Structure 1
Amino acid sequence: MNIHLSHPPHQARCHPESMAMRSILNTTLVFGLVRVPVKVYSATSSHDLNLHQYHAEDAGRIRYEKRCEVEDEVVPSEEIVKGVETKRGVVLFDEDDMASLPQPSSREIETLAFVPGDQIDPIYYEKTYYLGPGDGKTGPYALLCQALEDAGRVALVRFTMRQRESLATVRPRDDVLVLETMMWPDEVTLPTALDVDASLSAKEMELAQVLIDAQTGEWRPEEYSDDFQAALEELIEAKRAGKPAPKAKPERLAKVISLVDALEKSVERADPDRAPAKKAARKSAKKAAKKTARKSTAKKTAKKAAARRGSG
């Protein structure tokens, strides 16, 4: 095990609540003739630890060169252009070609319509941002936020950032405007090719509903955690301390059982009180087995007694 202390020590990941929010874009949200200066903030961030590639001998970071596959030579940045691969070959674009394209503006967020939020399938949503008041003007901002809240609508807008244009929605959340970017309609694949056709019994449906009821609760995000990332941090600390890696828990493979049995066992595991019928059935089966055993013993005893009388 090689520990190279020349590299910066591992640091605990930052949590969003401990970080100062920094705007990533200043723009204007326009609806009608009303202009609302806003600042854009990231609403989410990944807590994943980035695993890079290193040379096992000396912990040197593995780097990749921009190498031309035709000449097998490293190409300087000034000789690199953009392009796209088509059926007829590669089409290259220089700076003039790119300049001829319509340049999406990030100076304004254009409102296209106001729609009921529940009409939009969540599959369209991509990334979430907060919109904060810009230029210290909170009046128009508060007006739009309250108007959307009262109307029960979300604003469908056109949003551009880093030369990428997308649809987005703007909605109120705890007196703050939230912008969620969306996929374009042609980027969403419809599940028409998935063939789902199954006949379900009343028993299966009943047990499935009981299982859902048994596991129904409130959404409390603080109750959930990323077990893999926690285990990765534990492994890092163990390696730094020169300790052996923690042993992974063996994965138990579930036995192949019928759908009804799987549902019944799931209900028992989620809430034993919700599966009284099965327990009662087991008790009845045990009692019946005992009665049958008693009757069988009595019959054998009677036969033996009759045999003795006949022989006497």
Structure 2
Amino acid sequence: MAVARRTMISFGLVAIPVALYTATQDNDIHFNQLHKADHSRIKYKKTCSHCGQEITADDIVKGFEYDKEKYVIVTDEEVEKIKTEKEKSIQILHFANLNQISPVYYEKTYQVIPEAGGEKAFELLRNALMQEQKIAVGKVVWGASDTLMCIIPREDGMIIATMYYADEIKELPKSYTKPEVTEQELKMAKALIESMDTPFDPAAYHNEYQSKLKELIESKINGKEIVAPKEAATNNVISLMDALQASLEKNKAGEEKAPKKKSGRKTKGA
């Protein structure tokens, strides 16, 4: 697991050296684009719009268009020069409750590990956040932009989630015509939720469609014909109450067949 970034978390006058590791990976199957006629790979070349010459990465510089077809060239070294030491570290701006932040603001997640000499301050911050049930909101300059982020404590360490700014979130319709819900329908819906209420276990979820896609690829490699699976018979449910009742009965039947498991819930006062 390669180190993504080394930086500092500034907590008041305390500076905590940390290393940030990417916390996720792409496991999806990816397809290459091929020429339909002979199945050869499609290649993309970068060319100069003026002379038509093919360009390599070493020939490319960054430019900002300040007027039509007029550019000012800005180098990575110049971008780094204007950063202060303060901006290069993660500055904690304030603390908040985790449930005050909508998940739509989260972008990418990193695991945070303290560097040598920062373990005590790191653990102090983690422990204090856990006990106060708080998260820290901070920012750092990465590349050519302020990056907003959220520091979230966990039992075994901390994670950092980079965040979108408010003006980067699209406005979505926030209202709809709310139909009346009867007490009986609400009671049935609560019962269905209760019947499906189990502790979250991330290891229990798998990308099943990717598994099917791998099987399809293996079948194609071995020259087998691809056969569509038979669709399960659908119930002719004619009302919301019928759908809720049928769902409850299905869950109940599944529970009776499944082996008994100890509840993951804690009793009050535990």
TM-score when normalising by structure 1: 0.68
Structure 2, unpaired ranges of 5+: 256-270
Q: CA deviation at 1:140?
A: 1.9
- C-alpha distance 196-186 of structure 1, shift in aligned 2 (>3 A): farther
Amino acid at match of 2:240: L
Corresponding residue for residue 208 of structure 1? 189
Please give the per-residue CA displacement for 1:44-95, whole angstroms capped at 9, x wherever unaligned.
1121111121234544211223467x8795663547755679xxx9676432
Identity %: 29
- C-alpha distance 244-72 of structure 1, shift in aligned 2 (>3 A): farther
Corresponding residue for residue 266 of structure 2? none
Q: Select which of 48, 51, 56 maps to 2:31.
A: 51
Q: Retained in 1: the 8 A contact 2:61–2:73? A: no
Please give the per-residue CA displacement for 1:276-311, whole angstroms capped at 9, x wherever unaligned.
xxxxxxxxxxxxxxxxxxxxxxxxxxxxxxxxxxxx
Corresponding residue for residue 95 of structure 1? 73
Pairwise CA RMSD? 3.4
Q: Retained in 1: the 8 A contact 2:114–2:122? A: yes
Q: How many corresponding residue pairs?
A: 250
Query: How far apart, CA to CA, are the structure 2 residues paired with 1:142 and 1:168?
Result: 19
Q: Which moved more, 1:106-115 or 1:239-248?
A: 239-248
Amino acid at match of 1:52: N
Structure 1, unpaired ranges of 5+: 1-20, 275-312
- 1:94 is paired with a residue whose SS is strand
Query: How far apart, CA to CA, are the structure 2 residues paired with 1:193 and 1:218?
Result: 30
Query: How far apart, CA to CA, are the structure 2 residues paired with 1:114 and 1:226?
Result: 35
Corresponding residue for residue 260 of structure 1? 241
Corresponding residue for residue 60 of structure 1? 40
- 2:186 is paired with a residue whose SS is helix
Query: How far apart, CA to CA, are the structure 1 residues paired with 2:124 and 2:143?
Result: 28
- C-alpha distance 222-116 of structure 1, shift in aligned 2 (>3 A): same
Q: Retained in 1: the 8 A contact 2:126–2:158? A: yes
Question: Is 1:181 paired with 2:162?
Answer: yes
Corresponding residue for residue 259 of structure 2? none
Q: Select which of 69, 93, 109 maps to 1:128.
A: 109
Corresponding residue for residue 167 of structure 1? 148
TM-score when normalising by structure 2: 0.77
Query: How far apart, CA to CA, are the structure 1 residues paired with 2:243 and 2:64?
Result: 53
- C-alpha distance 202-183 of structure 1, shift in aligned 2 (>3 A): same
Query: How far apart, CA to CA, are the structure 1 residues paired with 2:47 and 2:40?
Result: 20
- 1:130 is paired with a residue whose SS is strand
